[in-house]
Amino acid sequence: MCGLLAMLTSGADAEKYVGAARDALPCMRHRGPDAAGTWNDDHAVFGFNRLSIIDLEHSHQPLRWGPEENPERYALTFNGEIYNFVELREELTGLGYSFNTEGDSETIVVGYHHWGADVVNHLRGMFGFVIWDTETSTVFAARDQFGIKPLFYATTEAGTVFASEKKSILEMADAIGLDLSLDRRAIEHYVDLQYVPEPESLHAGIRRVESGCTVTLKPGGQVESERYFTPSFQVQPVAKGNEQDLFDRIARVLEDSVAKHMRADVTVGSFLSGGIDSTAIAALAKRHNPDLLTFTTGFEREGYSEVDVAAESAAAIGAEHIVKIVSPEEYADAIPKIMWYLDDPVADPSLVPLYFVAETARKHVKVVLSGEGADELFGGYTIYKEPLSLAPFEKLPATLNRGLNRLSRVLPDGVKGKSLLERGTQPMEARYYGNARNFNFEQLQRVLPWAKPEWDHREVTAPIYQWSKDLEMDPVARMQHLDLFTWMRGDILVKADKINMANSLELRVPFLDKEVFEVAQTIPHDLKISHGTTKYALRKALEQIVPPHVLHRKKLGFPVPMRHWLAGDELFGWAQDQITASQTEDIFDKQAVLEMLKEHRDGISDHSRRLWTVLAFMVWHGIFVEKRIDPQIEQRDYPVQL
């Protein structure tokens, strides 16, 4: 788990950019405080910040490897972990290849030499990497199947720069002649969705390699992308009476995934909330680490903390448990820092408690496991029940549906049945665009007067929906498929990577394993949403693994009392000051935002999520565009090994 930087120049003038690359590395030192290094030849400059997890004394990067006839043919810079590297080393050694290290990085480049671009289909892990082949003058880069690890890039006349964090590319902007103008389309997408969807970033000149994609590049050429992994849900019917076979397969593959994710030369702990996902991961991890430490966070306000349930779970599995309670004052003080670490804003209030629990965990361990991905893979969100509840509308004549839809639009907000009518009389493609549904277009135009209807969420979701339609998925599978490409990689995995790496803490997500997905993708609809619950098959698979008190408990995660705080003394004044000071008049109608804040305080309407989306952007803008806000990033030192 580290931070990479790689530049392929358009001409044979790489030496010209070495100084800029070295200057750009410190801004992502948090990703790898244990070691740093650079390497260059005439065409390429590679830089690296290392967080040492495996093969601590060796496996330094940028890493060079080649066959006997050209032993330094390749240069590699790699961020992530390859969990099946032991098996890959054995396979490649049997094919006659030799290794110079005991780590996982070298398996990527040796595998690339043997399999070419198909190496990505042999990797089980999380990764973003760049390989420079000096013999063919080709860059090959890739991201993991689900997008757990980030990889940004920017192309100018000077060449193409890849980096784990956008900040490093921004640091090189002057050296490479990068246009730093903002992307208005990406801004509208962010406000609509509460995150910036891939492959966009808020800077027009910087983009992201998409999840499950590889890219190739020649000096002076353009980035050419190709998708190698498509997470398609291909249901396999389960005969009545054979359900237990499926439940057993789920339990076995998850246990194997956790075992692989425990591979490290440092201590591995686990995050623990009150839900089944993190509890299952912690319980399985305890089998491999008898001294497992678990970590959770919460707030003092009643109903916004799972601390007690998490502590009960930790006691049940025999883990030592550590808790961090976050105050409103700590919350507000941390916001600028968190927006700096994020690169682009993500309007998810749970980012802040996650930051504090990661900071706490890093004092004890260097790696933690967590339960991200279970809801998307196994059907865990309550909204996935919606196709069942709205099924009666599908039986109505089209003319009646259109009339009911018109009626729903004229009913005042808050009228009972308005939402049901509105959603039931729309096709899924129009009504569902993930877990972030903060603004309708009228609300969007109130704060974003220049917003264009053709840039709304459907511009992002329509191609994904067409994709799942072509693959003939059922309605719930289509919702899951959409979330894998939007909510999960835009919100869930961005905060998982950025906020933990802000604390030099490696987060591993065993549910998001390609072997786990191969089982999850086959689960029939009636074994996902069944018996009045979600993730039914997963819950059955975990009956002998998790304590009974969490087996059917609804997950809260790290809930934040944002609605109360923005209306009260905790954050109302802070929010008012942010809006007033922000120099975003060319983007937002600031007076409309202030009116929304007052309406929220007066109880006229709950604008908390909409306000938080705007406020997060304003803080981000104050840091990266206006340079008005100092995020006060401290240089922390951690021991090399924990």
Annotated binding-site positions for L-glutamine: 104
Residues within the annotated binding site for ATP? 370-371
Provide the angle, in degrees to the nearest 10, between the axes of the packed helices 457-470 and 475-485: 130
Q: For residue 475, with 0-12 CB atoms within 10 Å meaning exposed, 13-18 middle and 19 or more buried, which class applies? A: middle
Of 377, 436, 373, which is closest to residue 195 (Cα–Cα)? 436
Task: Return the number of other C-beta atoms located less than 10 Å from residue 561's C-beta.
Answer: 21
Q: What stretch of H or E contains 50?
A: strand 44-50
- C-alpha 547/C-alpha 255 separation (Å) is 16
DSSP secondary structure letter of residue 300: S
As a three-state string, the secondary structure of 207-254 is EECCCCEEEEECCCCCCEEEECCCCCCCCCCCCCCCHHHHHHHHHHHH
Residue 455 in contact with residue 441, Cβ under 8 Å? no
Partner residues linked to 40 by β-bridges: 45
DSSP secondary structure letter of residue 117: G
- C-alpha 62/C-alpha 78 separation (Å) is 8
b/e code 225-245 from CB counts within 10 Å (16+ = b): beeebebbbebeebeeeebee
Amino acid in the structure at residue 139: V
**Helix ranges, 372-417 (H):** 374-378, 386-389, 391-394, 398-410
As a three-state string, the secondary structure of 535-590 is CHHHHHHCCCCCCHHHHCCCCCCCCCCHHHHHHCCCCHHHHHHHHHHCCCCCCCCH
2 catalytic per annotation: yes
Helix (H, G, I), strand (E, B) or coil at 448: coil
Amino acid in the structure at residue 308: D
Catalytic residue among 2, 254, 281, 492: 2
The pair of structure tokens assigned to 375 is: 């809801």
Peptide bond between residue 475 and the one before it cis (omega within 30 degrees of 0): no
How many residues would you count in the chain? 642
Residue 494 in contact with residue 195, Cβ under 8 Å? yes
Left if phi > 0, otherwise alpha if psi is -120 to 50, otherwise beta: which for 59?
left
Residues within the annotated binding site? 104, 370-371
Residues with a catalytic annotation lie at 2
